[in-house]
Amino acid sequence: MERTEYNLIIIGGGPAGLAAAVAAYDAGERSILILERETRLGGILNQCIHNGFGLHTFQEELTGPEYAQRFIDKVLERGIEYKLDTMVMSIGQGEDGSKEVMAVNEADGLLLLKARALILAMGCRERSRGALNIPGFRPAGIFSAGTAQRLVNIEGYLPGRRVVILGSGDIGLIMARRMTLEGAKVLVCAELMPYSGGLKRNIVQCLDDFGIPLKLSHTVVRIEGKERVEGVVIAQVGPDRKPIPGTEEHYDCDTLLLSVGLLPENELTIGLGAEISRITNGPVVNESLETSVPGVFAAGNVLHVHDLVDYVSEEAHLAGERAAEYITACKDAMCAPPEKEKQIPVAFSGGIRYTVPCTIDPDKIGDWLKIRFRVGDVMTQRKVVLCLDSEPVLVKKRRVMAPGEMEELVLTRKVLAAHPDLSSIEIRIEEDKA
Amino acid sequence: MNTVNLTCIGCPLGCQIEVLMDDDKNIRLITGNTCPRGEKYARKEVTAPTRIVTSSVRVYGSRQGERMVSLKTASDIPKEKIMDVIRDLRGVSVPCPVRIGDVLLHNIAGTGVDMIATKDVD
**pLDDT tens-digit profile, chain A (434 residues):** 478 999 999 999 999 999 999 999 999 999 999 999 999 999 999 999 999 898 888 888 899 999 999 999 999 999 999 999 999 999 999 999 999 999 999 999 999 999 999 999 999 999 987 767 787 788 999 999 999 999 999 999 999 999 999 999 999 999 999 999 999 999 999 999 998 888 888 999 999 999 999 999 999 999 999 999 999 999 999 999 999 999 999 999 999 999 999 999 999 999 999 999 999 999 999 999 999 999 999 999 999 999 889 999 999 999 999 999 999 999 999 999 887 778 999 999 999 999 999 999 999 998 999 999 999 998 999 999 999 999 999 999 998 888 888 999 999 999 999 998 999 999 999 999 86
Judging contacts by C-beta atoms under 8 Å, the chain B residues touching residue A208 are 7
Inter-chain CB proximity B12 and A205 less than 8 Å: no
What are φ and ψ of residue A76, in 5° steps?
-65, -45
Cβ-based neighbours of A359, under 8 Å, separated by 6 or more: A284, A285, A286, A287, A343, A344, A345, A346
CA distance B12 to A45: 24
Judging contacts by C-beta atoms under 8 Å, the chain B residues touching residue A204 are 6-7, 9
Beta strand pairing call for A425-431 and A255-258: unpaired
Inter-chain CB proximity A200 and B11 less than 8 Å: yes
Scanning B11-40 for CB atoms below 8 A from A yields: 11-14, 34
Task: Please report, rounded to a whole number, the percentage of residues in chain B having pLDDT higher than 70.
Answer: 99
Alpha-carbon distance B23 to nearest alpha carbon in chain A (angstroms): 23
**H/E element, A72:** helix A64-77
Judging contacts by C-beta atoms under 8 Å, the chain A residues touching residue B9 are 199-201, 204-205
Predicted pLDDT at A184: 97
Q: Is A51's Cβ below 8 Å from some Cβ in B?
A: yes
Residue of chain A whose Cα is closest to the Cα of B34: A399
Q: Is A399's Cβ below 8 Å from some Cβ in B?
A: yes
- Chain length of chain A: 434
Inter-chain CB proximity A51 and B52 less than 8 Å: yes
Q: Establish how many alpha carbons lie within 13 A of residue A70's alpha carbon, considering only the half-sphere containing its beta carbon.
A: 18
Query: Among partner residues A63, A181, A200, which is closest to B9 by beta-carbon distance?
Result: A200
**H/E element, A57:** helix A55-58
Judging contacts by C-beta atoms under 8 Å, the chain B residues touching residue A209 are 51, 79, 82
User: For all residues of chain B together, what is the average pLDDT?
Assistant: 93
Inter-chain CB proximity B68 and A155 less than 8 Å: yes
CA distance A378 to A429: 12
Predicted pLDDT at B86: 96
Judging contacts by C-beta atoms under 8 Å, the chain B residues touching residue A153 are 56, 68, 70
Cβ-based neighbours of A111, under 8 Å, separated by 6 or more: A2, A4, A86, A101, A102, A103, A104, A105
Predicted pLDDT at A352: 97
**What is residue A315's three-state secondary structure?**
helix
- Closest by alpha carbon to A115, among A85, A81, A91? A91
The type of residue at B65 is G
Predicted pLDDT at B114: 98
Scanning A156-195 for CB atoms below 8 A from B yields: 156, 181-182
DSSP conformation class of B90: T
At residue B12 the predicted structure's pLDDT band, cuts being 50, 70 and 90, is low
Predicted pLDDT at B35: 87
Residue of chain A whose Cα is closest to the Cα of B6: A204
Among A44, A49, A67, A152, the residue to mutate for chain B (most B Cβ within 10 A):
A49
Predicted pLDDT at A45: 98
User: What are the pLDDT digits (tens) for B50-80?
Assistant: 999 999 999 999 998 999 999 999 999 999 9
Alpha-carbon distance A350 to nearest alpha carbon in chain B (angstroms): 19
